[in-house]
Amino acid sequence: MNSYKITVLPGDGIGPEVVTEALKILYAAGEKFGFSIETEEALIGGAAIDAAGVPLPETTVEKCRRADAVFLGSIGGPKWENLPHHQKPEQGLLEIRKALNAFANLRPAKVWDALVSASTLKPEVVKGVDILIVRELTGGIYFGKPAGIKIRDGHKIGFNTMIYQEGEIERIAGVAFEMARLRNHRVTSVEKANVLDVSQLWREVVTRVSADYRDVELSHLYVDNAAMQLIRNPKQFDVIVTGNLFGDILSDEASMLTGSLGMLPSASVGGDVGLFEPVHGSAPDIAGKNRANPLAAIATAAMMLRYGLQENQAAAAIENAIEKVLTDGCRTADISESGATVLSTSEMGDRVAAALE
């Protein structure tokens, strides 16, 4: 029987509440699919500042490095808002991503059938959408040098550099093709090769890497067209791979196809250990009230099983269980509609666990 060590970082606000529900589902999935989950908790964010004076204690990094995967709730809150920038809870999140060398950010945009009406787009456009955006996270224009603001010829200029090394493109393309193998075997690479040299290199390298993945179909799109196609016909996409800047914009665009923050999972992978976290923050306005939607965290657990632990069957079963409770009309307050049964955080977790069985 496979046994996985998960380092759990509950964090602040609703983080601990939604993590509890996700773990409930992971244990249930383990029983059903024959693996065991061993967890070790560690501090991050405001909870770490209160207990240890820093947002990411070294012991937390060590615990994360020796795990098979890291599962994070959410961090931050008004209590720590006035601290200097480098001491804030958010710093802990940036540091743990860096410490784990996570260069690939995975952001799925899956529209659950029962929540089709939550999207601002027409039901026939979004029903069935299931996209995975693979965004390069540690390179590109956000990190390229030179960058700055200077005076040139008497005028102030601002500039950044969009730069990618071949190796950086190869490794993110590799992640995208591997992900596509776990899904519908299609990758769309997005850049701006009609204008940018860096994008020409991107296209050349992605095409070369695709030779090792003959079973995956590769297509290329310019980013302006990709932004349009995401709204026009999002169902055409399976995996989208793109650089840091384009991925930042397109992943937010794609996530809004689904229409609901409380439903969105994410992962940062590529290093030795993957970091899995819901997209939402610590929601201080509802923290401690048993009102948070745990489905983003539960869908994150499914992502961890699929992309971090290769437990595909269990991942699919969790997603089916989420779909089932939604179809049965179960809602938390944030996604409630008339006629729905409004559940608390823990009741929603119980329903998903029961649906899994």
Is 142 labeled as catalytic in the residue annotation?
yes
| Distance of closest approach, residue 271 Cβ to ligand NAD, in angstroms | 18
- b/e for 322-331, b at 16 or more Cβ within 10 A? bbbbbeeebb
Which position among 38, 58, 204, 285 is part of the footprint of ligand NAD (CB under 6 A)? 285
Residues 205-244 that bind ligand NAD (CB under 6 A): none
Number of chain positions touching ligand NAD (CB under 6 A): 22
Other beta carbons less than 10 A from residue 320's beta carbon: 12
Q: Nearer Cβ to ligand NAD, position 35 or 142?
A: 142
Which residue in 50, 224, 272, 285 is the catalytic one?
224
| Binding of ligand NAD by 296 (CB under 6 A) | yes
Tokens of 218: 């590769």
| 3-state SS string for 91-115 | HHHHHHHHHCCCCEEEEEEECCHHH
Residues 88-147 that bind ligand NAD (CB under 6 A): 90, 93
| Binding of ligand NAD by 259 (CB under 6 A) | no
Task: Identify each DSSP E strand in the chain by its residue range.
Answer: 2-11, 35-41, 69-74, 104-110, 130-136, 148-152, 155-159, 186-191, 217-222, 239-242, 265-269, 274-278, 330-331, 341-342
Which residue in 113, 212, 252, 328 is the catalytic one?
252
| Binding of ligand NAD by 326 (CB under 6 A) | no
Q: What share of the chain is helix, strand, coil (3-state, %, to 5)?
A: 45, 20, 30
Q: How far is the C-alpha of 293 from the C-alpha of 276, rounded, in Å?
A: 17
If DSSP codes are grouped into helix, strand and coil, which group holds residue 73?
strand
Residues 50-79 that bind ligand NAD (CB under 6 A): 74-77
| Distance of closest approach, residue 223 Cβ to ligand NAD, in angstroms | 25
Which position among 283, 298, 302, 330 is part of the footprint of ligand NAD (CB under 6 A)? 283
Is 307 labeled as catalytic in the residue annotation?
no
Q: Nearer Cβ to ligand NAD, position 174 or 284?
A: 284
Q: Nearer Cβ to ligand NAD, position 76 or 139?
A: 76
| Binding of ligand NAD by 292 (CB under 6 A) | yes
Which residue in 63, 88, 110, 192 is the catalytic one?
192
348, HSE (Cβ side, Cα atoms, 13 Å):
36
Which residue in 63, 248, 307, 334 is the catalytic one?
248
| Binding of ligand NAD by 174 (CB under 6 A) | no
Question: Which residues are bridge partners to 107 per DSSP?
Answer: 133
Question: Which residues are bridge partners to 274 per DSSP?
Answer: 69
Question: Which residues are bridge partners to 131 per DSSP?
Answer: 109
Q: Nearer Cβ to ligand NAD, position 54 or 261?
A: 261
Residues 12-31 that bind ligand NAD (CB under 6 A): 14, 18
Other beta carbons less than 10 A from residue 275's beta carbon: 26
| Binding of ligand NAD by 284 (CB under 6 A) | yes
| Distance of closest approach, residue 120 Cβ to ligand NAD, in angstroms | 16
Residues 327-346 that bind ligand NAD (CB under 6 A): 334
Question: Which residues are bridge partners to 149 per DSSP?
Answer: 158
Q: Which residues bind ligand NAD (CB under 6 A)?
A: 14, 18, 74-77, 90, 93, 261-262, 277, 280-286, 292-293, 296, 334
Active-site residue list: 142, 192, 224, 248, 252
